[in-house]
């Protein structure tokens, strides 16, 4: 392929959640990396920034809010971040936006919703690849 | 007298917990053979016929002599000159530059290499500074290096190395800093005078408290032997041993992101290291 | 200027450890204005298991993350019932950082946490139930699978179930199969539950 893939970092301490998000995003033609907490995510970002972040809130060492605050204070190309959490409380949502999230989704997230938001935030009208063709599960 | 021959499962468990509490080193079941063998050796040497009597001595001997001997027997000391050299490059090209740029006094820069093992790491740091850090003309640097194993510390002070330990050193540096002694290589006075060795158990708060005000800590290939809690505890002690802005360098298979949230990751061209934030206390 | 041999001991005048190192002195130091003094107090208090109450009280008001971290490490090292009760209290904190740090600490105390698990998994607050399932992850306890099965069978909250399924993929055995199938039936419209339950079933089948 001639074009370089858009890179997405999925940050969640639950392995199954990372796998789920990875499956959805890779099927749509994105390159996905993973991190198990906010600190590890910052390490990944230090290696090379991403085009989009999918961030859980509750994680050990550094939670999603802390990750976004650190990310946003960095002098690097910034990219949209989707916060994904089990917490439905209005206060958590507010905190997510204040920390630098572009969008807040409540878990569990449906594949088509996640994908639609990712495309919008990346300014794409269609997915790089049709997720329904040759979907690898 | 009967020679002790076996260690039971219960005894192994008991010993493992005790040793872990003392040193932070946790032996997996897979290390059972190694541990039993060392224990039986020490029991024979100390004329203890049963594990029980040996264990009592280990725990209650006031001098702690036998515990130290056992620690010496149980530790893995593998190391060599210029191991993970990219971190030394990072030290002279990036970390020290940032540190001196922020300095307001001309107090010496302090570097801690722990664990030292037989000294290859701290002497490598000394060589690197002498060879590749131009600002050494303007700054004093103190290198302190520590290990829990007293025997290996003596070896480090002696500074006598096999060809294998020095095989990654460029020939010119080998010639400059070592004298050939038969099959061995003996460090010269320049290196010997550059490093101070001390005995430290990083899991012991009293030992750690004596080691402070460092600008860079190298702690490579130690935490991999520890369990989560001991790793975290050690990282926290390092935080208080560092000046604000100070760096921690870990081995290539170790990551602070899984250990403690006190440090911030710093990416330099040569390496990823961890920093106690400037302005923290 | 050059490489210099050092006295290993840092010559320092600002000794933050100047207060008495007995229980009362350390508890006082725990409220010192200097975070460095607070960290040293929290670290040295490991010698006094009766200090858990004071440590937890400080934890609840502590604003400096580095001090929080050391207090939690000491509580974990003390690791008695009092300490665990304090950690459980933290699960209800508004502060996400404190909650997550308490979960981490509890994961390191499986034996002490196990007796409280039943109660935590029945807590009225779904978030507390999710945290409890998170703690289960590291509990090497014979009951773990049973607890998880109870959660995916009885808990009405989808995210509590989701967290439990994640874990069943790791610790589940043949016994879990009917409950996983029933869970899929209960949440037919939820792709995540379908995905996670299928993954768990696949892993169990693979042994
Ligand atoms: C594999 S060597 C690492 C040497 C060197 N840093 C390197 O990376 O090449 C590990 C050393 O850790 C030391 N050690 C083990 N437990 C220790 C502890 N609790 N405190 C200090 N040193 C310890 C051992 O004695 C051994 O010399």
Q: What is the pLDDT of residues A17-64, one digit of tens each?
A: 999 999 999 999 999 999 999 999 999 999 999 999 999 999 999 999
pLDDT score at C195: 97
**Ligand 1 site, residue B23, Cβ cutoff 6 A:** yes
Q: What is the pLDDT of residues B34-62, one digit of tens each?
A: 999 999 999 999 999 999 999 999 988 88
Please, which chains are in contact with A (at least 3 CB pairs closer than 8 A)?
B, C
State in Å: Cα C40 to ligand 1 middle.
25
Q: Which domains does chain B have, with CATH numbers?
A: 9-74 (1.10.155.10), 85-275 (3.40.50.150)
> In angstroms, what CA-CA distances link C136 with A121, B161, B169, C120, C165?
36, 49, 49, 11, 12
Q: Contact A57/C99, CB-based, under 8 Å? A: no
User: What are the chain B neighbours of A70 within 8 Å (beta carbons)?
Assistant: 264
- Residue from B173, B171, B168, B169 nearest B188 by CA: B173
Q: What is the pLDDT of residues B7-25, one digit of tens each?
A: 999 899 889 988 988 888 8
Q: What is the pLDDT of residues A85-121, one digit of tens each?
A: 987 677 889 999 999 999 999 999 999 999 999 999 9
Q: Contact B236/C17, CB-based, under 8 Å? A: no
- Write out the two tokens for B231: 């790793």
Supply the CATH number for residue A90's domain.
3.40.50.2300
- Write out the two tokens for B131: 């060879």
Q: What is the pLDDT of residues B179-202, one digit of tens each?
A: 999 999 999 999 999 999 999 999
B residues 129-148 near C, CB within 8 Å? 129-130, 136-144, 146
Alpha-carbon distance of B51 to B6, in angstroms, equals 9
How confident is residue B2, by pLDDT bands cut at 50, 70 and 90?
Answer: low
pLDDT score at B28: 85
- Write out the two tokens for C145: 């699978």
Count of C-beta atoms within a 10 Å radius of residue A42: 21
Residue B218 parent element (H or E): strand B214-219
ipTM, 2 dp: 0.92
**Ligand 1 site, residue B35, Cβ cutoff 6 A:** no
**Ligand 1 site, residue B25, Cβ cutoff 6 A:** yes
What mean pLDDT is reported for chain B?
93
Alpha-carbon distance of C79 to C127, in angstroms, equals 24
**A134 occurs within a structural domain:** no
Query: What number does the ligand 1 atom closest to the CA of B25 have?
Result: 16
**A83 occurs within a structural domain:** yes
Please list the alpha-helical segments (H only) found in chain C: 23-29, 35-44, 52-61, 65-78, 81-90, 96-107, 110-121, 126-136, 144-154, 158-171, 177-186, 191-205
Number of structural domains (chain A) is 1
| C-beta separation of C72 from C102 below 8 A | yes
Strands C3-4 and B141-147: parallel
Residue for token pair 């190391």 = B79
Residue for token pair 């036998």 = B66
**A1 occurs within a structural domain:** no
Alpha-carbon distance of C153 to C162, in angstroms, equals 12
Alpha-carbon distance of C60 to A117, in angstroms, equals 38
pLDDT score at C11: 45
C1-108: CATH class: mainly alpha
Residue for token pair 């990875």 = A22
Does B265 contact C at CB distance below 8 Å? Answer: no
How confident is residue A134, by pLDDT bands cut at 50, 70 and 90?
Answer: low
Q: Which comes out higher in pLDDT, residue A12 or C21?
A: A12
> Which domain does A28 fall in, by range?
7-125
| C-beta separation of A29 from A5 below 8 A | yes
Burial label, B204 (beta-carbon count in 10 A; 0-12, 13-18, 19+): middle
State which residue of chain B sits closest to C34, comparing Cα positions: B281
Does B27 contact C at CB distance below 8 Å? Answer: no
**Ligand 1 site, residue B126, Cβ cutoff 6 A:** no
**A82 occurs within a structural domain:** yes
The reported pTM is 0.90
Minimal Cβ distance to C196: which of A16, A63, A110: A16
**A2 occurs within a structural domain:** no
Distance from the Cα of B184 to chain C's closest Cα (Å) equals 25
**A79 occurs within a structural domain:** yes
Does A24 contact C at CB distance below 8 Å? Answer: no
**Ligand 1 site, residue B22, Cβ cutoff 6 A:** no
Residue B113 parent element (H or E): strand B109-113
Instruction: Return the domain boundaries, chain C.
Output: 1-108, 117-207
Minimal Cβ distance to B267: which of A37, A40, A46: A46
> Which among B38, B125, B153, B222 is the best mutation to test ligand 1's pocket, defined by most ligand atoms within 8 Å of the CB?
B222
Q: Contact B265/A61, CB-based, under 8 Å? A: no
Q: Contact C7/B196, CB-based, under 8 Å? A: yes
Residues near A33 by Cβ (< 8 Å), separated by ≥ 6?
A: A7, A8, A9, A10, A44, A50
**Ligand 1 site, residue B246, Cβ cutoff 6 A:** no
Distance from the Cα of A41 to chain C's closest Cα (Å) equals 16
Alpha-carbon distance of B197 to B158, in angstroms, equals 11
**Stretches in chain C below the pLDDT threshold 50:** 11-14
């Amino acid at each position: 392929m001639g074009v370089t893939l858009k890179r997405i970092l999925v940050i969640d301490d639950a392995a199954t959640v990372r796998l789920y998000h990875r499956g959805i995003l890779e099927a749509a033609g994105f390159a996905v990396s993973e991190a198990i907490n906010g600190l590890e995510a910052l390490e990944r970002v230090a290696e090379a920034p991403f085009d989009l972040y999918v961030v859980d809130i509750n994680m050990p060492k550094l939670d999603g809010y802390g990750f976004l605050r650190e990310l946003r204070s960095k002098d690097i190309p910034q990219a949209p971040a989707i916060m994904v959490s089990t917490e439905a409380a209005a206060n958590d949502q507010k905190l997510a936006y204040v920390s630098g999230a572009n969008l807040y989704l409540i878990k569990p997230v449906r594949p088509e919703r996640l994908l639609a938001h990712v495309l919008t935030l990346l300014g794409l009208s269609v997915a790089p690849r049709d997720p329904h063709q040759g979907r690898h599960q | 007298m009967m020679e002790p021959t076996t260690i039971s499962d219960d005894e192994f468990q008991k010993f493992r917990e005790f040793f872990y509490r003392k040193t932070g080193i946790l032996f997996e079941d897979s290390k059972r053979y190694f541990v039993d063998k060392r224990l039986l050796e020490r029991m024979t040497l100390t004329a203890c016929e049963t594990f029980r009597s040996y264990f009592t001595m280990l725990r209650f001997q006031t001098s702690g002599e036998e515990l130290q001997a056992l620690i010496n027997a149980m530790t893995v000391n593998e190391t060599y000159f210029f191991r993970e050299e990219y971190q030394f490059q990072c030290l002279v090209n990036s970390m020290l530059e940032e540190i001196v740029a922020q300095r307001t006094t001309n107090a010496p820069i302090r570097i801690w290499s722990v664990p030292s093992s037989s000294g290859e790491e701290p002497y490598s740091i000394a060589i690197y500074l002498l060879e590749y850090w131009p600002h050494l003309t303007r700054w004093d640097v103190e290198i302190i290096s520590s290990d829990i194993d007293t025997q290996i510390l003596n070896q480090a002070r002696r500074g006598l190395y096999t060809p294998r330990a020095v095989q990654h050193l460029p020939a010119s540096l080998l010639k400059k800093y070592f004298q050939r002694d038969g099959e061995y290589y003996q460090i010269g006075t320049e290196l010997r005078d550059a490093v101070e060795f001390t005995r430290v158990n990083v899991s012991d708060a009293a030992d750690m408290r004596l080691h402070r005000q460092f600008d860079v800590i190298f702690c490579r290939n130690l935490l991999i032997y520890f369990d989560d809690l001991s790793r975290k505890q050690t990282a926290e002690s390092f935080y208080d041993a560092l000046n604000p802005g100070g760096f921690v360098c870990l081995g290539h298979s170790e990551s602070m992101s899984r250990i403690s949230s006190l440090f911030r990751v710093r990416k330099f061209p040569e390496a990823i290291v961890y920093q106690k934030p400037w302005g923290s206390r | 200027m050059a490489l210099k041999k050092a006295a290993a001991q840092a010559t320092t005048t600002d000794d933050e450890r100047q207060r008495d190192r007995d229980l009362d002195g350390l508890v006082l130091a725990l409220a010192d204005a200097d975070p460095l003094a607070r960290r040293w107090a929290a670290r040295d208090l490991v010698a006094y298991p009766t200090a858990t109450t004071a440590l937890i009280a400080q934890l609840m008001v502590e604003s400096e993350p580095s001090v929080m971290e050391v207090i939690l490490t000491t509580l974990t090292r003390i690791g008695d019932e009092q300490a665990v009760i304090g950690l459980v209290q933290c699960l209800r904190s508004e502060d996400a950082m404190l909650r997550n740090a308490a979960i981490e600490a509890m994961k390191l105390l499986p034996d002490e946490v196990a007796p409280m698990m039943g109660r935590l998994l029945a807590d009225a607050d779904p978030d507390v139930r999710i945290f409890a399932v998170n703690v289960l992850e590291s509990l090497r306890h014979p009951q773990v699978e049973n607890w998880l099965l109870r959660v995916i069978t009885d808990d009405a909250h989808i995210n509590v179930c989701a967290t439990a399924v994640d874990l069943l993929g790791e610790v589940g055995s043949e016994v879990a199969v009917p409950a996983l199938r029933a869970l899929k039936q209960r949440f037919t419209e939820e792709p995540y539950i379908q995905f996670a339950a299928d993954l768990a079933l696949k892993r169990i089948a693979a042994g």
